[in-house]
Structure 1
Amino acid sequence: MGSAEHQKRAMVAKSVTRVGADIKEDDWLEKLKTCGFAPKMSTVWVLEGILYYLHHHNAMQVLQTIAANCLLTHTVLLADFMNESSASLSNSTYHFYSDWPEQLLPALGFLNVKLSQIGDPDAHFGLLHDSQNLFNKLRSLPRSVQTNPEDGSPCCRLYLVEASGFPK
């Protein structure tokens, strides 16, 4: 194999279509279909900075709808999840959380769930060189720990999640 074959293939969209839809409503997927979304085509869903603003019921409906697409075609979900401590920092701004998205997503039908936290080797982004950085400190604590043993503050975690599914 040549070196070009070892490189990751870049996905490039042929076009972008903006669709006015509220994912808190039941008709958002139908609106996407009306504007050209084809459920049988491989799909990447990017839910960055979205889920935790939704109420639990709405976020679960969105995730279940996307997971149902895994039955039709190769589907990839890219999302960020807050844990409960992070979501409870703000007065009602954040609603949805999951302390264990790598258990939640397979229960909905996703496979191959990959979880990272900011600062992990695959989510470093060249920003976290200081070992005293909050993210570096949190990464060293077991996930079961809910409060920081140093000062009793909540262990606020932000998980970067990639999950995929395939028809059986």
Structure 2
Amino acid sequence: MTPRAHVPQVVLLGAGMDARAYRLSCLKECAVFEVDFPELLKTKAEIIHEATISPCHQRVTLQAKSLVRVPADLREHDWLEKLRKHGFNPNKTAVWVLEGILYYLPQHNAMNVLESIAANCALARMTLLADFMNKSSLSLSNSGTYHFYSDWPDHLLPTIGFSRVKLSQIGDPDAHFGLLHDPENLFEKVRKLPRSVQTHPDDGTPCCRLYLVEAS
């Protein structure tokens, strides 16, 4: 086997302006794939290029073993095939990062993404890292920006083939990230309430929750 065969794959779906491949030294042995709209990836590449040739002391350099940008629309059914054509191997170890993307997709598209990952990567060691909004969180946008939700992602994912699902809410000890212990914090107000509660008993406001999920 060539050394390349041992390189873990990291797939960033809906990568946007994410710069993990340039920020995280832990990716130095990883092949990173960024999947997003063609025009967005083009703009991002131009910005990154300018940063890599900048004469300042904070010049940006690639930390990952390699980086491949994959122009694709996650609302279309061919996104995984495009990913494969760009070098992704579903039979090799992979970490899938779906941060800030699922809840922007219509319900059937989001489920298609999750089901495609589960169905096509079952033969390899695979880890899914994703964030899920609950139903009440849809009210955070008055313009209908958010669509997909799940009040119980730890129940949903096993039904489509994922296992070992670990769920944390923003504000939990393992998902606090330096947030202030403010009782008025949006997520802190509902963290200790049962997940089945949709409106806060004190003021009747929606119990907006953001779940961080790790599954394999």
Structure 2-normalised TM-score? 0.69
Structure 2 match to 1:71: 122
Structure 2: which amino acid aligns with 1:163? A
Evaluate the alpha carbon distance shift between residue 88 and residue 129 of structure 1 in structure 2; reply closer, same or farther with a 3 A threshold.
closer
Matched residue type, 1:154: P
Q: Would the aligned equivalents of 1:53 and 1:95 in 2 still touch at CA under 8 Å? A: yes
**Structure 2 unmatched runs, 5+:** 1-25, 31-64
1:110 aligns with 2:162: yes
Structure with bigger RCO (C-alpha 8 Å, 6+ apart): 1
Please name the residue that 2:179 is paired with: 127
Per-residue deviation, residues 111-162 of structure 1 (Å, max 9, x unmatched) = 0101111110110101132344332221111111110000001101111111
Give the percent of matched residue pairs that are identical in Structure 1 and Structure 2.
70
Give, as a single letter, the amino acid of the residue that structure 1 aligns with 2:165.
V
Structure 2 partner of 1:84: 135
- Deviating more after overlay: 54-63 vs 129-138: 129-138
Rounded Cα–Cα distance in structure 2 between residues aligned with 1:146 and 1:11: 39
Cross-structure match for 1:151 = 203
What is the aligned residue count?
155
Q: In terms of mean alpha carbon deviation, does 134-143 or 54-63 score higher? A: 134-143
CA contact (8 A) 2:70 2:86 kept: yes
> How far apart are 1:11 and its partner, in Å?
5.1
What TM-score results when the alignment is normalised by the length of structure 1?
0.87
* Mapping 1:48-63, distance limit 5 Å: 48-63=99-114
Matched with 2:83 is 32
- Bigger drift between 109-118 and 129-138 goes to 129-138
In the TM superposition, structure 1's runs of 4+ consecutive aligned residues that sit over 3 Å from their partners are none
Match of residue 7 from structure 1: none
Structure 1: tracts of 5 or more residues without a match: 1-9
Residue identity matched to 2:152: W
